[in-house]
């Protein structure tokens, strides 16, 4: 896990007392731009996941009470797909609360809270927290290679945000 964040690297930390992990990352963008990148399906598909996967949005209703589903497809092997779905419990100008389910492991649902804080001068900090049902499940998520997807995805998000300004 990353322990020494740079401006362009997310920090991923586990909690020793609760089965959750936290992700923190700063962006050269406003809070509104980062929230929009998480709620606009076209923008989301451009940055979500590792470099060797593309994202297909299957369903997207980014509002409080809405739901979502997307599929990651391996670029060099289109038959290899990973599908995810969830519900938006809250969508506001600086916070998203949602569930997240990997379809191949439907019993492992996480509750995610993403908060974006304005740092001034066109910068913001994204802090997310994902709560799962056990320490074993949390450790499996961490061991799954999710850090690669987070780091590469957020680098792609940097590019999407830079082109939006």
| Sheet strands (E) in 28-150 | 53-60, 67-74, 77-91, 95-102, 109-120, 123-131
Residue pLDDT, tens place only, 76-101: 998 999 999 999 999 999 999 999 99
- pTM higher than 0.85: yes
- Structural domain boundaries enclosing 71: 11-164
Domain-located, residue 6: no
Number of domains in the chain: 1
Tell me: the pLDDT tens digits for 112-137?
999 999 999 999 999 999 999 999 99
Q: What is the CATH number of the domain that holds 119?
A: 3.30.530.20
Residue 146 lies inside a defined structural domain of this protein: yes
């Amino acid at each position: 896990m990353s322990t020494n964040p740079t401006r362009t690297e997310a920090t991923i930390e586990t909690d020793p007392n609760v089965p959750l992990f936290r992700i923190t990352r700063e962006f050269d963008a406003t809070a509104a731009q980062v929230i929009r990148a998480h709620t606009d399906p076209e923008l989301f598909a451009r940055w979500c996941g590792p470099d060797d996967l593309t994202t297909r949005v299957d369903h997207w209703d980014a509002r409080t009470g809405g739901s979502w589903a997307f599929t990651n497809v391996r670029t060099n092997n289109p038959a290899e797909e990973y599908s995810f779905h969830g519900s938006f419990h809250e969508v506001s100008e600086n916070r998203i609360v949602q569930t997240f389910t990997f379809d191949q492991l439907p019993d492992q649902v996480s509750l995610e809270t993403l908060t974006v804080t304005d740092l001034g001068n066109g910068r913001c900090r994204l802090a997310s927290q994902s709560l799962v049902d056990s320490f074993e499940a949390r450790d499996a998520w961490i061991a799954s290679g999710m850090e690669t997807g987070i780091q590469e995805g957020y680098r792609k998000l940097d590019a999407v945000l830079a082109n939006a300004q």
